[in-house]
Structure 1
Amino acid sequence: MAKYEIIVADMERKIAQGHYRSGDKLPSVRDATKAYECSVSTIIRAYAELEKLHAIYSVSQSGYYVVEKTEDTSAVRANESIDFASASPDLNVFPYRDFQHCLNKAIDTYKYHLFTYGDPQGLDRLRQTLVSHLADSQVFAKAERIFVTSGAQQALEILAKMPFPNGKRLILVEQPSYDLYLRFLEAENIPVRGIERTAEGIDLRKLEAIFESGNVKFFYTMSRFHNPLGTSYSVEERKAIAGLAGKYDVYVVEDDYMADLGEERSFDPIFAYDRNSRVVYLKSFSKIIFPGLRLGAAVLPHELLDTFRSFKRSGDTSLLSQAALEVYIGNGMYERHKHKIGSEYASRIRALNVALQRYNSGGLIEVSKVNSGIYVQLKLPLTVNLERLTQRLAARNIHVVPGKPFYLPDYLEREKFLRISISRTRLDQIDEGVKAIVEEVGRRETS
C-alpha cells in the first residue's frame, strides 16, 4: 500500500470518527508532511484523492476543509435504534463513488461483451486478477481452478448437491454455524451432522473420530471470524484440520467470507496447509463492497472442477459486476477500501470490548476474545430466558440475534448466547447498547 493511500485511509477514519468534523480545516500541507513523515508531493496527492472522494475541498490561499454535511450525525438521536443484529456492511462506508467510476470504466473497456452470455467459470480477466489478489491471503492457485460465483452462498449450495470423488454423502458442520446454510441443508434433506465448536476452539480428537467413521463428504468450516462466535482457529488447529482431511480422504470447505476484515496480516487459511488437494477455498466480496453485488470466488481442487462446472451450468453471474470488480481490484481501490473498512470495524470492536469490561466487571456474561471482524459472542447464564431478553432489548430499541438459529434442530449440546454484530452500529452507540444488554441480562425476570 502506497504512503499516500495510508494517509488517505487515516484521514477518512479521522473524519468518520469525528476527529475532523464537518467544516473543519485540515492540517496544512507543511504540518501534515511533518505529522506523517513524508514528502510534500505525497501529502498533495493524498489531499487530491480525498477531494476526488468528495470528503474534503480546497479554498485558494486558505487550505483544505472537510465537506460540510446537511445534518450532524455525530450525536445519538432520541429513540434511535442500536443495531447489533445486522451483518450487512455499514451503508456509511460503502464506496459508492469509487465503484461508480469502476462501472463506467468497465463499460468503456468491455463494451458490448458485457451484454452477452458469459463463461460459467467467470470473466477471464477477473479470474486472472484474482490469482494475485488471493495470493495475498496465501491462497496460491492458477486461474483455471477459480470459479466466480453469485456470492459464497451459490458455491456452498452447489458443493452440497454435487457428488465428490470420495463417494461419501455426509456433510459435517460446526455447531453453531452459518444459519442460512444450515436451513438450506435441512430444506434439501442433505445428510448433515454437527460437531461442537466453542470460543475456545474445536476438539480435534472428536473431529478425527468423525472423519475416521468413513462417511464424511466434506467438513464445512469458517476458519476465521466465525459466524456467530467471531473467533478464529489457531495455527495448530488449521494445520491439524488440513492434515486430517488428507489422512481420511475428507474434503474441507473453508468459508473465508471475511478474509479482508482483519487487521492481522499473518493469518494463513487452512488452504495454505493443504498438501493433499482436499481444501475448497471460498471468498465473498459482499462484506467489503456491496451485498447486492453478489460476487464470490471458489478455488477448487482439480478433481472437482468438471463436476462443479456441470452443476453451475451457465454464466449466471453479472458480467458488468465482474468487470467492475476487476477494475476495482486492479486499480488498487479495493485494497485501500479494505484497509479503511477494516480499521473502522476494528475501532468498533475495541469500543465494544472496553464497554464490556466496564459494565460486565462481575463476569455475568462470558465474552469471546475477538479483536477483528464484526462478530462477538455473549454467552449467557442458563437461567436467562432468551426470548424475553430479546423482546425487552427491542423495547429499548436495541436489536440483537439469539444463538438458537445457528444450530441444527436436533443438536442438543447448545450454548445460550447472543451474537453481537458491530457492522451497522455507530461508534457512539456501542457503550449505551452494551450497558443496556448487561442491565437486562442481570434482571431477575429473565429466568
Structure 2
Amino acid sequence: MRKYDQLVLSLKEKIECGEYRAGMKIPSIRHLAAQYAVSKSTVIKALDTLEREHLLYSVERSGYFVVKTNQSAGKQDSTWIDFASSAPDPVVFPYVDFQHCINQAIDLYQNDLFIYGTANGLPSLLPVISKRLMDYQVFANPEQIVMTSGIQLALSILSTIPFPNGKQTILVEQPGYHLYLQYLEKNQLPVRGIQRTEKGLDLQELERIFREEEIRFFYTMPRFQNPLGTSLSKQEKIAIAALAEAYDVYIVEDDYVADLEFDTKRDPIYSYDQAGKVIYLKSFSKIIFPGLRTGAVVLPEELIGPFSEHKRLIDIDSSMLSQAALEIYLKSGMFERHRERMQTTYRNRSKQLVTCLKNDQGAYQLGEEDPATHTHLLLDRSIPMNQLIHQLKKASVYVQPIDRHYISTYQKAPILQLNIWHVKEEQITRGVDLLKTALQQIARY
C-alpha cells in the first residue's frame, strides 16, 4: 500500500474511533509528515482528499479540523408531526463547526471585537459577502452592502427612512411575511396589499397600482415565498424591474432562502434591474441557524447614507463577533459543505411531501410542486379550518392556517401552510395520510 493511502486510511480510522473528535484540530502538516515519514506534499494531498469527503475542513491560517457529521436530535418528541414550524431543524445546524469559527474569531479579531465597529459592518467581511452574493447573480460592490442584525431590522429601517421618490405607501404581497406585516400595522405605516397566488402576481394590477398610487416600495419574496412556497417566473421578474423603473418605485427583494435553490437559472429581480431600483436582502439565519442574526442589505447608492445613518442611531453596529465568525465560516469552505447538506436534506423532504400530496387532491389544491421547505394547500371553502386543525392536533399533527400572513384589511383565503423544516422523511407520509383522513371525515358531515 502506498504511503499516501496508508496516511488517508490511518487518519480515517482515528476520526472513526474518536481519537480525532468532532471540531478538534488535527496535527499540523509538518507534524504529520514527520510522524508518517512522508513528504509535506503527500500530507497535503491526503488532507485534501479527506476534505473532499467532508471528513475534515480547513480554516485559513489555522489548520484542519474534524467535521461533525452526525447531529443529535436532542429531546425532540417524535410522536408529533410538526407541519407548522417555520424554524430550521436543529438537527442540521452546524454547531461544532460554527463554534470553532467563533473561537477563531475571538483569536483573530480580538482587537476589533471589544470596541464599537462600523455601521456598515466588519470591513473585512464586506468583500467576502460581495463575492458570496455573486453565486445568486447579485453583483454589488462592498460599498453597497450593509450588514444588519437580521433582516427584520433592515425592513424596519427601510420602512422608516425617506426615499428619493418622496412617496409613502408600502405595497406588500398578500399573503406575505407575517412579522413584517405586523410591524407595519403596529406602527401605523401606510400599507396596501396585492394578491399573490400559486400563479404569481397580476402584472396589470401591479402596473395600475404603481401608476395611480404613491408607492414608496414593493416588498416581495420572488423565491419560495413565505407562506405560499411559490416562485415568480423569469418573465414576471423582468416585468417587475421594468415597472419599477417606469413608475419610480423601489423594489425590496427578500431572498431569504436563496441557498436552497436547485435551479441555477432562477435569478433574482436584482439581476434584471437596470435603473438601481432594487434593494436586495439576504439572510444567513435560515441556512446556518436563527441565533446568528446576521443579514446583508444591498442598497442603491442614494440610499446607502440614509440607511447607514439610521442604523447607527438605533443599533450602533451589528454583532462584530457574529460577523467575524461568519467571515471565517464563508472563507473556510465550511459554508459550502453545510449548504450541500441542507439542500439534500430539504430537497428529499420536499419531494416526498409533494409526491404524497399529489396522489389525492380532493378537498384541496396543491399550491407549489417544487418547494424548498414549504408549500400550501388551498382548501375547499366548505372545509371548516378550525375543525380540521383541532382534529389533526388530536392525531398529533401540527398544522396552521395562513391568517396571520394578511394585513387586517385584506380578505383571507382558506389556505393551509405545510412546512417540512421540522418533519423527518419517515414522518411525512404518515402526516399526509392523517391530513387526508381528517379531510375525508370532515367532508362526510
Aligned length: 391
Contact 1:170 1:218 in 2 (8 A): yes
Q: CA RMSD in A?
A: 2.2
Q: Whole-Å Cα distance in 1 between the matches of residues 424 and 395 of structure 2?
A: 17
Q: Whole-Å Cα distance in 1 between the matches of residues 55 and 400 of structure 2?
A: 42
Q: How does 1:204-283 map to 2 (within 5 A)?
A: 204-283=203-282
Displacement of 1:69 in angstroms is 8.0
Q: Whole-Å Cα distance in 2 between the matches of residues 69 and 307 of structure 1?
A: 45
Which residue does 2:106 correspond to in 1? 107
Displacement of 1:112 in angstroms is 2.7
Q: Whole-Å Cα distance in 2 between the matches of residues 133 and 216 of structure 1?
A: 31
Q: Once the two structures are superposed, what CA deviation does each residue of 1:259-318 show, in whole Å capped at 9, x if it has no partner? A: 111222121100000001100000100111110110000000001111111211243311
Whether 2:334 is the aligned partner of 1:333: answer yes
Which residue does 1:15 correspond to in 2? none
Whether 2:67 is the aligned partner of 1:53: answer yes
Which residue does 2:18 correspond to in 1? none
Q: Specify the SS of the correspondent of 1:349.
A: helix
Displacement of 1:111 in angstroms is 1.2
- Structure 1 residues 70, 223: CA separation in 2 closer, same or farther (over 3 Å shift)? closer
Q: Which runs of 5+ in 2 are unaligned?
A: 1-44, 58-64
Q: Specify the SS of the correspondent of 1:409.
A: coil
- TM-score calculated relative to the size of structure 1: 0.83
Q: Whole-Å Cα distance in 2 between the matches of residues 348 and 334 of structure 1?
A: 21
Q: How does 1:121-140 map to 2 (within 5 A)?
A: 121-140=120-139
Q: Whole-Å Cα distance in 2 between the matches of residues 287 and 188 of structure 1?
A: 26
Which residue does 1:350 correspond to in 2? 351
Q: Once the two structures are superposed, what CA deviation does each residue of 1:122-143 show, in whole Å capped at 9, x if it has no partner? A: 1111111001000111111111
Q: Once the two structures are superposed, what CA deviation does each residue of 1:224-255 show, in whole Å capped at 9, x if it has no partner? A: 00001101000000000000000000000000
Displacement of 1:214 in angstroms is 3.8
- TM-score calculated relative to the size of structure 2: 0.84
Whether 2:312 is the aligned partner of 1:321: answer no
Structure 2 residue identity aligned to 1:98: D
Contact 2:54 2:337 in 1 (8 A): no
Which residue does 2:413 correspond to in 1? 415
Displacement of 1:115 in angstroms is 1.1
Q: Whole-Å Cα distance in 2 between the matches of residues 330 and 83 of structure 1?
A: 35
Structure 1 residue identity aligned to 2:420: I
Moved over 6 A (4+): 39-42, 67-73
Displacement of 1:222 in angstroms is 0.1
Contact 1:385 1:446 in 2 (8 A): no
Q: Whole-Å Cα distance in 1 between the matches of residues 48 and 309 of structure 2?
A: 50
Q: Which runs of 5+ in 1 are unaligned?
A: 1-38, 56-66
Contact 1:103 1:324 in 2 (8 A): yes
Contact 1:214 1:248 in 2 (8 A): no
Q: Whole-Å Cα distance in 1 between the matches of residues 84 and 232 of structure 2?
A: 24
Q: Whole-Å Cα distance in 1 between the matches of residues 154 and 293 of structure 2?
A: 12
Structure 2 residue identity aligned to 1:49: L
- Structure 1 residues 54, 175: CA separation in 2 closer, same or farther (over 3 Å shift)? closer
Q: Whole-Å Cα distance in 2 between the matches of residues 307 and 193 of structure 1?
A: 24
Q: Specify the SS of the correspondent of 2:124.
A: helix
